[in-house]
Amino acid sequence: MTDSELPRLTADVPGCGGAFKLVPEDFEVEEVPAYLPSGEGEHLYLWLEKRGRDTREVVKALALALGVSEDDVGVAGMKDRQAVTRQLISVPARAEPKVEGFALEGVRVLWTKRHGNKLRTGHLRGNRFRLRLRGVKDLGAARETFSRLVERGLPNYFGEQRFGRAGDNADQGKLLLLGQRLAKRPDRFQRKLYLSAFQSRLFNRALVERLRAGTLATALRGDVLRKEETGGLFVCEAPEVDGPRVAAFEVSPAGPLFGPKMPASAGDVAEAEARLLVAEGITLEDFKRGGGETEGGRRPYRVRLGSPELVPEPSSEGGEDVWLTFELPRGAYATEVLHELLKDG
């Protein structure tokens, strides 16, 4: 199921119309770090701004320019190519003298500072987005959709970027878990990408079922619930108690990222999740073949939009342009907000 075919929380509101990301400046994203560098240590943090470059491309160029291994370069998250993005990247502090000579078109080093540890995947609180929709035809629909997402939360789909340009990353991951050879042996980065994509596809299917059943924001007996403040997980045993906590956005139902260490749900919820595996012809045991890449976990079915703002401005091309500003926790996709607004299916 492609992104445009996924069911939407605001399906009863018409699409607002408009065009997105005609130029990189229409999509700005800035990391919200989990912590800031201390000023001392064996690693050097670089606050980078880039246009028209993806994160992996910058990592390769940095490693070459600084004379270090790509494995020595740390990032907290991967960022889009067709955007203006700002993010932290860490390199060994011994390379500091060479940083001033680093040059790559579309990339600027805004500041550097030392820290004690290497930056690793997930070392961020989230991302701050500023997106421009050009030529919006129905401003009222845009406002209504955005306000509902602020109130109810955004369905936490994995975006189409996760599944590759050809859309076959998940199929490749499934073959790896079944112990089959791929046409071309993947490198370590590709292997991780493929396996994660397969887990992501199954999560999206579970989320589709919750949306269609109208239980996105409902505590079901047997649900694994996630605490918004701490990320702690527990199984719902009393929906009448946990239901108001879900309504208050204190906790949220969390869907499956299948693997041997995935916290188990119970009852009817566990049976529904098991049916997803049966439909794919795969077992929980198969995920052990993925090793550390597919240990499993839980992902909330919805996420909050932090610091939300919608600002229209007149467009010279007819209609109005709309600037959307909001924050999302790490791992959530800003493009899902756009799909809700545009109804581009």
Just list the catalytic residues.
80
Residue 189: CB atoms within 10 A of its CB come to 11
3-state helix, strand, coil in the chain (%, to 5): 35, 25, 35
**Letter for the amino acid at 144?**
E
**Letter for the amino acid at 84?**
V
**Cβ atoms of 301 and 210 closer than 8 Å:** yes
Quick one: three-class SS letters along 225-242? EEECCCCCEEECCCHHHH
**Cβ atoms of 76 and 124 closer than 8 Å:** yes
Q: How far apart are CA 203 and CA 207, in angstroms?
A: 6
User: 14, 19, 9: which is closest to 140 by C-alpha?
Assistant: 14
Token couple for 250: 């204190």
Instruction: Collect all residues with Cβ–Cβ distance below 8 Å to 101 and sequence separation of at least 6.
Output: 65
Please return the burial class of 255, using the count of CB atoms within 10 Å of its CB with bins 0-12, 13-18 and 19+.
Answer: buried
**Letter for the amino acid at 195?**
L
Q: What is each CA distance from 11 to 51, 63, 158, 289, 340, in whole angstroms?
A: 33, 46, 18, 39, 8
